[in-house]
Amino acid sequence: MGFYLAQLLTGLANASSLFLIASGLSIIFGVTRIVNFAHGSFYMVGAYMSYTLVTLWSGSILGYWGGVILAAAAVGLIGLVIEMTILRRIYRAPELFQLVATFGVVLIFQDLTQAVWGAEDLLGPRAPGLDSAVRIFGEPIPEYDLALIAIGPAVLLAIWLVFHRTRWGVLVRAATQDREMVGALGVNQAWLFSAAFVLGAFLAGLGGALQIPREAVSLQMDLSIIGEAFVVVVIGGMGSVTGAFVAAVLISVLNAFAILIFPQVSIVLPFVVMAVVLIVRPYGLFGKPGSEHGAPVEPEQPLTLMGQKGLMVMIAAVFVLALSPLAVADFTTILLVDVMVATLFAVSLHFMMGVGGMVSFGHAAYFGVGAYAAAMGVKYFGLGMVPSMALAPFCAAAAALFFGWFCVRLSGVYLAMLTLAAAQILWGVTFQWQDFTGGDDGILGVWPAQWASSDRVYFYIAFVLCIGGIWLLRRAAHSPFGYTLRGVRDSRTRAEAIGVDTRFHQWMGFTLAGTLAGLAGVVFAFSKGSVFPDTLGIALSIDGLIMVLLGGIHALAGPIYGAVAFVMIEDWVTRLDYWRFIFGAIILVVVLLAPDGIAGGVHRLVRMIRGGKA
């Protein structure tokens, strides 16, 4: 009895930590619609600042809690600066574009934090007065855990009071439901957004600061918390603080008990719970069906077929690419294969997001299935390179067909998060099922057949498959199927009214995108000679997302610009010290100069030059 109570209390203490960071994320999303990747960075910086302050004033109770509050306030201030200098300028950009900016911020903070506090983990002091355990039913329970269990609900109550008893809070809730209407009523949206962002950043900083007595402050804190924080927000319902609390308790307590029975479960548990919740309740536990709308929806420009000049430029570019191995060094052809793989991956994701209107946070799943299927074909089933290459995209298609069936039942960010859950579950299985997939030691020795092993020959194989795949997706976008898909994206109701089976079209669009991502994975596997679970991981999904958004989601050429720029810049910049800072800064500059993505920027540039001539 005492044991289970103790386990429950441990779970609740974890829940409070998780709730603090998730609540801030939820508030920021609810009001500003920003999917804030930098939230983990706020959490980490809060922890580092509080480490410094708490160590400085160590020993005194006032010093400890003062340090925690001050650190959180400082993070709130950082949030304000970021909101005012960066995010405020791009609220009118296409949906989710702000995510790219927050990704840049994450990179910058990783290097800044390392430069300021050093690489070594830092273990702060325990909280004065709460530094030991008390016995409850004979079981030792840390006093600090009890404090956390009290702090979580207290913060929830405080947020509730602010939202229900102050005018500002009422406005925030109104903005969460319909921010255009709030704007129409004469409320200064800019300040409302800033304040919500500051509150969110403050809560993240507080969450990080309160971790000092529990864990060593490290540079991994930002990325290790962000995934789980998103999961909690989505399970609770985006924008619902109460939902975030319930979800945090659910996840943490489940985990505390699940590891008693099945210790390996922690790596996928949150994602399994999220998948189940989303399948049963498509808007999370406390989310409302309407609550994802209200973002400024610009009517998208219809896609136009390329003009004659544009077509010639493109053919010329492909032609140059085809001839490039004759002119450049062997190494460059390998880099070009990487560029082509990334481009096909980004174009397939763009087909799903831009043409199909379905955002995916887990597109790497199909890339990885393709790569693994090819690797297993060669290693376990003794197939040659060509049969494996032919077969693997169908495995990716099967996976996309299966997960897509569930995903297309949702919409918006919830759909995106379900794709993420699917990818994480696949990743977890691959990671854990060592006998079949090799676990994180991966599958080695997946090299091209003898006749294709030279860099140049493999370049042409990759060229044919990738350019062919890109052409196929382009063709599909301009086909009746593509037109229908875009119709569904722009107005599901109208599409249904003219007799389109909207879900079926989206499902097939999802599957087609997944298949082509699988093809990219196949080309990738043979070019690297080995596959690892990273090919299904969040990092790759996010890279793809950044490529598509950075390139410009409204143009078919967008993902091509995005992927080429991303891979080339990364290849160049990682040679430098502090490359994450530089990379992040480059991303921010692009974001601020071209809120419509690189494609939009190029388009405006071309028009300007033409205008200048005329």
Per CB under 8 A, the list member of 81, 444, 464, 589 interacting with other proteins is 444
- Show contacts with other proteins in window 105-134 (CB under 8 A): 110, 114, 119-123, 126, 132-133
Per CB under 8 A, the list member of 575, 612, 613, 614 interacting with other proteins is 575
Confirm or reject binding of residue 532 to other proteins (CB under 8 A): yes
- Show contacts with other proteins in window 8-37 (CB under 8 A): 10-11, 13-14
- What token pair was written down for 395? 């495995």
Q: What share of the chain is helix, strand, coil (3-state, %, to 5)?
A: 75, 5, 20
Confirm or reject binding of residue 46 to other proteins (CB under 8 A): no
Nearer to other proteins (CB atom), residue 242 or residue 332: 332
d(CA 147, CA 277): 30
Confirm or reject binding of residue 441 to other proteins (CB under 8 A): yes
Q: What's phi and psi for 209, nearest 5 deg?
A: -60, -40
**Site of tokens 């719970």:** 273
Nearest Cα to Cα of residue 206 among 74, 390, 9, 99: 74
Number of residues lying near other proteins (CB under 8 A): 76
- Show contacts with other proteins in window 69-88 (CB under 8 A): none
- Show contacts with other proteins in window 289-348 (CB under 8 A): 328-332, 334-335, 338
Nearer to other proteins (CB atom), residue 38 or residue 472: 38
Confirm or reject binding of residue 163 to other proteins (CB under 8 A): no
328 Ramachandran zone, left/alpha/beta (phi>0; psi -120 to 50): beta
Stretch that binds other proteins, among 162-170, 399-407, 553-561, 576-584 (CB under 8 A): 576-584
Q: What is the DSSP string of 571-606?
A: HHHTTSTTHHHHHHHHHHHHHHH-TTHHHHHHHHHH
Confirm or reject binding of residue 52 to other proteins (CB under 8 A): no
How far apart are CB 208 and other proteins at their closest, in Å?
Answer: 13
Confirm or reject binding of residue 167 to other proteins (CB under 8 A): no
Per CB under 8 A, the list member of 66, 128, 153, 439 interacting with other proteins is 439
Confirm or reject binding of residue 571 to other proteins (CB under 8 A): yes
Nearer to other proteins (CB atom), residue 191 or residue 433: 433
Per CB under 8 A, the list member of 56, 309, 497, 577 interacting with other proteins is 577
Per CB under 8 A, the list member of 166, 188, 434, 491 interacting with other proteins is 434
- Say which amino acid occupies 417: M
Confirm or reject binding of residue 501 to other proteins (CB under 8 A): no
- Show contacts with other proteins in window 250-269 (CB under 8 A): 252, 255-256, 259-260, 263-264, 266-267
Nearer to other proteins (CB atom), residue 123 or residue 500: 123
Nearer to other proteins (CB atom), residue 307 or residue 435: 435
Q: What's phi and psi for 503, nearest 5 deg?
A: -65, -40
Nearer to other proteins (CB atom), residue 298 or residue 441: 441
d(CA 567, CA 581): 16
Spatial neighbors of 173 by CB under 8 A, at least 6 apart, are 163
Spatial neighbors of 175 by CB under 8 A, at least 6 apart, are 30, 31, 182, 187, 189, 192, 196
Confirm or reject binding of residue 436 to other proteins (CB under 8 A): no
| Binding string, residues 191-230; x marks residues near other proteins by CB under 8 A | ----------------------xxxx-xxxx--x------
Nearer to other proteins (CB atom), residue 249 or residue 353: 249
Nearer to other proteins (CB atom), residue 129 or residue 140: 140
d(CA 67, CA 49): 8
Spatial neighbors of 611 by CB under 8 A, at least 6 apart, are none
Stretch that binds other proteins, among 241-249, 398-406, 426-434, 463-471 (CB under 8 A): 426-434
Confirm or reject binding of residue 39 to other proteins (CB under 8 A): no
Stretch that binds other proteins, among 3-11, 22-30, 70-78, 464-472 (CB under 8 A): 3-11
d(CA 48, CA 153): 24
Asked if 533 and 440 touch (Cβ cutoff 8 Å), the reply is yes
Distances (CA, A) of 421 to 81, 400, 407: 33, 13, 10
How far apart are CB 114 and other proteins at their closest, in Å?
Answer: 6
How far apart are CB 27 and other proteins at their closest, in Å?
Answer: 24
Confirm or reject binding of residue 189 to other proteins (CB under 8 A): no
Per CB under 8 A, the list member of 84, 579, 592, 603 interacting with other proteins is 579
Q: What letter would DSSP give residue 298?
A: P
Buried b (16+ CB within 10 A) or exposed e, 320-349: ebeeebeeeeeeebbebbbbbbbbbbbbbb
d(CA 537, CA 516): 17
Q: How many CB atoms lie within 10 A of CB 131?
A: 12
Q: Where would I find the beta strands (DSSP E) of 448-602?
A: 529-531
How far apart are CB 218 and other proteins at their closest, in Å?
Answer: 4
